[in-house]
Structure 1
Amino acid sequence: MPVVTVKMAKGRSLEVKRRLVAELTKVIADVLDVKPEWVTVLLEEYDRENWASGGNLHIDQFGEGYGRRGS
């Protein structure tokens, strides 16, 4: 039974998360030739103040809304 963990910044809507897990499940089931109900997707969300790259917190480096369309 495959388990996939997606780590991402907080702020996406429930509808976006539903689409993400549905599409990931389809692809994983197809590629691994397993039943979709065997696929588990875990979403781990982080505040930008708790995520850093290159020694800089994302909240400082990119701002609050970075990563959303139009940002």
Structure 2
Amino acid sequence: MPTINVQLFEGRTPEQKRAFVRAVTEATVKTLECAPESVDILIQEVKREHWATGGKLWSEE
């Protein structure tokens, strides 16, 4: 069973998340030749103040 962990900034709508997991599931099924029911996707929402790139917090952008 593939399990896919995704980290995103907070703020996506339920509709966006629904479309995302649908698309990722379809791509996983096609690529790995597995059943959709075996694909688990975990979405972890992260606050911008808890994420940094290049030594700078995203909340400071």
Equivalents in 2 of 1:43, 1:10: separation in Å? 10
Number of residue-to-residue matches in the alignment: 61
Aligned to 2:9: 9
The yes-or-no answer on 1:52 pairing with 2:52 is yes
Return the TM-score normalized by structure 1: 0.83
| Structure 1: 5+ residue stretches without partners | 63-71
Alignment gaps of 5+ in structure 2? none
Give me the CA root mean square deviation. 0.6
TM-score (norm 2): 0.96
Greater share of residues in helix: 2
The answer to whether the aligner puts 1:40 opposite 2:40 as a matched pair is yes
Q: Which runs of 4+ in 1 moved over 3 A?
A: none
Partners of 1:48 and 1:18 in 2: CA distance: 22
Which structure's relative contact order is higher, taking Cα pairs within 8 Å and 6+ residues apart?
2
